[in-house]
Structure 1
């Protein structure tokens, strides 16, 4: 019996040793490949923000500047917004910022509060030497940061055009669940990369209208491997309830032009989605809502409409 137990222990130790060894190899390989891939496929320009690298993409040369801000967990904002940015750049200067934890940018352990994220956005724009006021175009959670920005620095924001953007009171209805920071180990261990290699990529509808090139789709898939579940994104996710609560029952400034493009899929699946956006309107003469057919990532399938309708809105309401 004792001999059998000793053999069993040895076998278990060997199995554990093999697993640990494979995880170490996976983590080291993942780190090396991340660096190689990011350098090879890097898009845009790298700027210094608070001692870390942040990636930005600037296109167009219009008199007004649109700043595109991504949703929570968007792996590669530059790639994600590229078709929309291309269309907007015919009339405006367009900036895509990859905040910390996204795309080619570094991660950070700084608190993902409204104040910190907005400070980083403002610093990035100054580093790019692009002066305001800006038209902020947030997708999803960036709607919260854009509202905070407009309220606290009103002279720097001349309009907000949201893409199915979040509103503060949504967490009054449904609180977001917290994620364990230990989940970041899945990212650093390279498990996301391993799973991606083993399983075929799932069609998420990004290229339904063939807006994206094969290279752009490839970069987006690689960025998912680099950034999926990293510590910055996890910390940002865990701040959603606090960040929205900071703005509970707040409306947009009365003189701020706002256009919200809402996804019909979101409106149909959540009866509160449209009312939540109506609640933040303080001046219906210059603050509008437009429902477009499509899912939460509206710019994947509606880049032409969003660009055209944004131009009409800006021409009418943003002087």
Structure 2
């Protein structure tokens, strides 16, 4: 009798596992079919260039003034869509470029490790292939602050200014005495497993930008949901997150060159984020800019993605800063 009960339970468990596996396989198959269909229905806004045998999406808008290259934060599924309001503002007076990194937006995935060196070299190659001439103003968000610092330090002749939106910088870990978080490998199954697609449609408010009504068009928000289903927490993003510690070690001794104009927009620190010793993100940025001859630090109230709400202010401040600093140094672009 006990043997029969045991066999019955084993069959039940087996059937549950087989059913769950079948459902997962169906979801993955449906997700794959939808992704291929959507790639054809919703083509990239820019052009494709070949980098290391893969295709990278490069979007440009505007034809005059300075060339501003925008670098996204970690895990921003669709950088061109995320930056669109800021792109529209800046492109009135500048040439704005977004080269979506591998694993982001309309760009391919890659097998290359997401080291700071690989990411910067891929960006440089994409800009060359797209015929985008420097020198550039690098406008980075979040973790891309590390890449901008590396780029500006290693290739100073290609960078005429740096702008940062609540950027991560190599010295932050030591300054705050914190460790670098890691992302579990199973997160890379979210997009190919179809879970990102399910989340994008069940919880759209968790996917789209937190912004005033009308800031992002209905078309943009729909595409953001779709590209999130393609790219959310994919293997490249997970690898990039887990390379942060390595990338910090590589860049820890780097600093902004004294003669490089730098403007940083920081999320205003509330009392809960100020350490007992008085340290905050504001005091950290001040320490990073201390030896930079021409710099500006602007604190703004809001989310880590400050450009969602403050795109007009950021655009105005960047334009004014570039005009003043680059005219002063004699390196204003006439493109």
Matched pairs, number: 319
1:182 counterpart (186, 190, 201):
186
- Say whether residues 1:27 and 2:41 are aligned partners: no
Q: Verify the 8 A CA contact 1:70 1:77 in the aligned structure 2.
A: yes
Give the corresponding residue for 2:295. Answer: 287
Structure 1 residue 179, shift from structure 2 partner: 1.9
1:177-228 CA distance string (max 9 Å, x none): 2222232123321122234444464376523252110111111122222111
- Say whether residues 1:306 and 2:314 are aligned partners: yes
- Say whether residues 1:86 and 2:88 are aligned partners: yes
Give the corresponding residue for 2:240. Answer: 236
Matches within 5 A, 1:212-231: 212-231=216-235
1:104-135 CA distance string (max 9 Å, x none): 11122211111100000000100110111000
Q: 1:196 to 1:91 in 2, by over 3 A?
A: closer
CA distance in 2, matches of 1:203, 1:181: 21
1:280 alignment partner, SS class? helix
Give unpaired runs (5+ residues) of structure 1: none
Matches within 5 A, 1:5-84: 5-42=6-43, 43-84=45-86
Q: Which is worse superposed, 267-276 or 98-107? A: 267-276
CA distance in 2, matches of 1:267, 1:44: 42
CA distance in 2, matches of 1:198, 1:281: 43
Q: Verify the 8 A CA contact 1:207 1:300 in the aligned structure 2.
A: yes
Structure 1 residue 174, shift from structure 2 partner: 1.8
1:157-178 CA distance string (max 9 Å, x none): 0000111111111122222222
Give the corresponding residue for 2:134. Answer: 132
Q: 1:105 to 1:259 in 2, by over 3 A?
A: same
Q: Which is worse superposed, 56-65 or 269-278? A: 269-278
Give the corresponding residue for 1:258. Answer: 262
Tell me how large the CA RMSD over aligned residues is: 1.9
1:222-272 CA distance string (max 9 Å, x none): 222211110000000001122122222532101111111111157973543
2:250 counterpart (241, 246, 250):
246
Structure 1 residue 10, shift from structure 2 partner: 1.8
Give unpaired runs (5+ residues) of structure 2: none
